[in-house]
Structure 1
Amino acid sequence: MSGVTLGIDPGEFVLLLGPSGSGKSTLARCFTGLVPHSVPGELKGTIKVCGRDVTETSQTELATRVGLVFQDPSLQFVTSTVATEIAFGLENLRVQPAEISERIATALDDVGLSGFETRQIDTLSGGEKQRLAVACQLAMEPDILVVDEPTANLDPQGTEAVYGLLRELARDESRTTVLIEHECESLLDAVDRTVVLDRDGRLLVEGTPQTVFAEHPEQLRREGVWIPAVTRLALKLRASGDWPDATTLPVTVNQTVDAVSDLLTEQPSERTRFDSRPAGAAEPDPSGGSTTSPALDIRGLDARYGPDEASDPVLKDVDLAVPEGSFLALVGPNGAGKSTLAKHCVGVCSPPPETVFVGGHDLTALPSREISRYVGYVFQNPEDQFLTDTVRDELAYGLRQLDFGAGEIERRVDRTLERFDLTEYADRNPFTLSHGEKRRLSVATMLVVGQDVLVVDEPTYGQDRANTDALMRTLSELHESGRTVVVLTHDMRIVAEHADTVAVLVDGEIQFHGTPADLFDDRETLSAAALSRPPLAELADHLPVFSGPATPKRCYKYCTGGRMDPISRDQNATAPDSGEERPDQAKRYPDQERRRPDYGEER
């Protein structure tokens, strides 16, 4: 961080945003005294918490003032049961046993975990673990609660549960709450102030959510900071002269509904029907209408961990055909079996014979090294797939295993380094890259071979908006060039804006396979799968005669009486939401033509 001057008032609920590496977590550690007491480095200026200078205050005393909840709650658990975990911090503060029992009961009630006292922590869901981590801090009765990306590992309903808890805590005006997130659309109406750091760790903007997002879109876009979907829609409408209020822009769905309702009242005659399909046309076929063999075909797949036949199956008679050239989103709650299914599809886990077919080949009949010719797999954690000491060698590794010639390897590696903006890091150790750079490298290592099927596990995990958008542009280009893309995700925006089909996995079984629009209309399946609808889908419910997928372009077209989104007419035109040219970040991957990317000679 550099030159940050910031004051937070008692009882405020502050949202801290910024791109990856901007210093958000470092700032959180400054609040708790981890910086400078435990984390080495140079500290200039002053940090005061509740009037106390953190450099002159012990961490023990600061622990009674500030509670910090980490992104991964498992990193801060030190005992085995819920009650003993909450008691641990209190015992270190020398709280009397009788009072400890009272505080445990109160904290669990505050987070909705009453009755969980004797539960083993390793049996809790991801959302329950996050709530327990919050309870551990609340029990110590801090004046300030700092929560660092609490929803990064959660499914949509787990996310909403944590946000609901934070909303309730925010009503207690005696406690200050600081939430660090990459985005949190559904919680903005509870936030008092939004603070944004830039890439260099400087304070970019601060103010109410409406002030920050509606008045500073250009600065946020340049830094790759998330802007709410409804605000981005309103910015486009304002740029084209279709927004009813030149100054006020929405940050929530309800605010947008009120404004758009006025807009539609002014121009009702142009919207007798809004649908991307002609009237009477058939619903889209989730199979893509393809008569060729599926790129990925799963037939009656069962899977369990361990040799014991009595153990519970992780996958149960899974049937799923993924057409060639499709973009499939595989979604479902935490623990549904998504990653297990993906690992069976790429040979990381061995499926039974004649249950998984790639490009028409039974996966079990292919030698391990040959599987990688047909399908690539990008792990959720990029570090899990790194095998060498440099970025260049990492890209070359798979090609060498497949006996490509030295000249061809060099050509493919150089082109891939350039395509993924990794040339300057060619000689760096992959483990020293930033998280966004590691994710780009993990995708690049799979694409350099040129497989026809790519399976990507949680591509947006731990990514800021800029890195997410850049990666999704790359995956969309691959899809448009004819490759088959399968993405495992909790991000419903990806499902709505990129996928042409979606499969829902619940308790190891396929519960739904169809279009994103049909899924968002199926509230029973959404509830069973712990999924939530994206904001634009919620907005579309309030738009008369709107049907089909609620994507940004279609919502814009609807609100302008069917006119074309100016961005779609000319990708090189200025962006209508800012009036400025698109930032360099939007051009991270320069090859934007709709063709099959050339990673080398055809196999």
Structure 2
Amino acid sequence: MSHSDAVIEIVDVEHTYGGSTKALAGVSLTIGRGEFVAIIGKNGSGKTTLAKHFNGLLRPTNATGAVRLHTRDGKTIDTRGSRLHHLASTVGYVFQNPDRQIFHDTCREELEYGPRNLGADPATLAQRVRETLELVGLEGREEVNPIHLSRGERQRLAIASTLVMGCDVAVIDEPTTGQDRAESRKILDSLAHHHAQGQTIVIISHDMALVAEYATRVIAMCEGQVLADGTPAEVFSQREVLRETNIRPPQAAVLAPNSACPAS
């Protein structure tokens, strides 16, 4: 994959916590521009640690490891030598716990904050905010204080606050946490909408049915390494790999292991 096709380039990345616990063990991969990627694996497999390297929340702990972002205007940014606020304009990140990133008094202010810092046009920002809130099922909540939202609604607000920025890449850790099935589908539909407009989407998820339906690429991790990487049909057909990752494939893959996973 050429630099013009890549948006995130991971090269031999290791990450060790506290000098002894190795969470990533020499991971190398490239995320292509316009992909919808799902990272899967059991708890502790390195999914979140890997994703936090995409925008510099974590940096490689080995000297040879590198994370490079390739922007739409042709620039290449090495995260090791860059400040977080510079990286955030290229890769937006939504934490699994929304309360780690919501800090304004209204939903409107929460969504306006990021785009304003990036120099968004005030004349169009209000409309962007309304449209994004509607996409995640929070229409009409502009002036509501987030503390009055349910946990699932706050998760959707956090996702909206990243989508509204229009970053090259949106990374969402467990986007369906705290959501019922209808709300989960609403969230994935909103991500699919932005993906259709050219945004690269990366999710971390334990919901294999939704992964099979929405993702164009699946990365399966175990013990800090990538065990499988391909389309949903390719990854979910690798039974031995799935056993290692403690992942149960979606029912469609079990019933038709040699065919593509159809939408449910």
Q: Would you say same fold, with TM above 0.5?
A: yes
Equivalent residue number for residue 6 of structure 2: 294
> Which runs of no fewer than 5 residues in structure 1 stay unpaired?
1-286, 542-546, 554-603
- Contact 2:55 2:87 (8 Å CA) reproduced: yes
Bigger share in strand: 2
Q: 1:334 aligns with which of 34, 43, 50?
A: 43
Equivalent residue number for residue 89 of structure 2: 373
1:341 is paired with a residue whose SS is helix
Equivalent residue number for residue 73 of structure 2: none
Q: CA deviation at 1:419?
A: 3.7
Q: CA deviation at 1:483?
A: 1.3
Q: CA deviation at 1:399?
A: 2.2
- Contact 2:212 2:263 (8 Å CA) reproduced: no
Could you tell me how far apart the structure 1 residues matched to 2:164 and 2:242 are?
36
Q: CA deviation at 1:538?
A: 1.8
1:456 is paired with a residue whose SS is strand
Could you tell me how far apart the structure 1 residues matched to 2:256 and 2:124 are?
50
Equivalent residue number for residue 441 of structure 1: 157
Q: Say whether 1:515 aligns with 2:224.
A: no
- Contact 2:136 2:187 (8 Å CA) reproduced: no
Could you tell me how far apart the structure 1 residues matched to 2:36 and 2:227 are?
18
The 5-angstrom pairing of residues 299-378 of structure 1 reads 299-306=11-18, 308=19, 311-351=20-60, 355-359=66-70, 360-378=76-94
- Contact 1:452 1:484 (8 Å CA) reproduced: yes
Could you tell me how far apart the structure 1 residues matched to 2:262 and 2:153 are?
28
Q: CA deviation at 1:405?
A: 5.1
Q: CA deviation at 1:408?
A: 4.5
- Contact 2:253 2:259 (8 Å CA) reproduced: no
Q: 2:180 aligns with which of 433, 441, 464?
A: 464
- Contact 2:48 2:204 (8 Å CA) reproduced: yes
Q: 1:388 aligns with which of 87, 93, 104?
A: 104
Could you tell me how far apart the structure 1 residues matched to 2:46 and 2:137 are?
33
What does the per-residue CA deviation read over 1:490-524, in whole Å, with 9 as the maximum and x for residues that have no partner? 11112211111111111111111112212222111
Equivalent residue number for residue 410 of structure 1: 126
Against the structure 1 CA distance between its residues 420 and 531, is the aligned structure 2 distance closer, same or farther, given a 3 Å change threshold? Answer: closer
Bigger share in helix: 1
What does the per-residue CA deviation read over 1:15-61, in whole Å, with 9 as the maximum and x for residues that have no partner? xxxxxxxxxxxxxxxxxxxxxxxxxxxxxxxxxxxxxxxxxxxxxxx
> What CA RMSD, in Å, does the superposition of the two structures yield over aligned residues?
2.1
Against the structure 1 CA distance between its residues 549 and 411, is the aligned structure 2 distance closer, same or farther, given a 3 Å change threshold? Answer: same
- Contact 1:373 1:451 (8 Å CA) reproduced: yes
Considering Cα pairs closer than 8 Å and 6+ residues apart, tell me whether 1 or 2 has the greater RCO: 2
Could you tell me how far apart the structure 2 residues matched to 1:393 and 1:376 are?
17
Equivalent residue number for residue 192 of structure 2: 476
The 5-angstrom pairing of residues 178-327 of structure 1 reads 292-306=4-18, 308=19, 311-327=20-36
Q: Say whether 1:549 aligns with 2:250.
A: no
- Contact 1:299 1:319 (8 Å CA) reproduced: yes
Could you tell me how far apart the structure 1 residues matched to 2:248 and 2:109 are?
41
What does the per-residue CA deviation read over 1:555-594, in whole Å, with 9 as the maximum and x for residues that have no partner? xxxxxxxxxxxxxxxxxxxxxxxxxxxxxxxxxxxxxxxx
Q: CA deviation at 1:411?
A: 4.1
Could you tell me how far apart the structure 2 residues matched to 1:397 and 1:480 are?
25
The more displaced of 313-322 and 403-412 is 403-412
The more displaced of 365-374 and 448-457 is 365-374
> Which runs of no fewer than 5 residues in structure 2 stay unpaired?
71-75
The 5-angstrom pairing of residues 23-102 of structure 1 reads none
Equivalent pairs: percent with the same residue?
Answer: 39
What is the total number of aligned residue pairs between the two structures? 257
Equivalent residue number for residue 506 of structure 1: 222
Could you tell me how far apart the structure 2 residues matched to 1:338 and 1:369 are?
23
Against the structure 1 CA distance between its residues 400 and 530, is the aligned structure 2 distance closer, same or farther, given a 3 Å change threshold? Answer: same
- Contact 1:332 1:505 (8 Å CA) reproduced: yes
- Contact 1:383 1:431 (8 Å CA) reproduced: no
Could you tell me how far apart the structure 2 residues matched to 1:417 and 1:526 are?
36
Larger Rg: 1
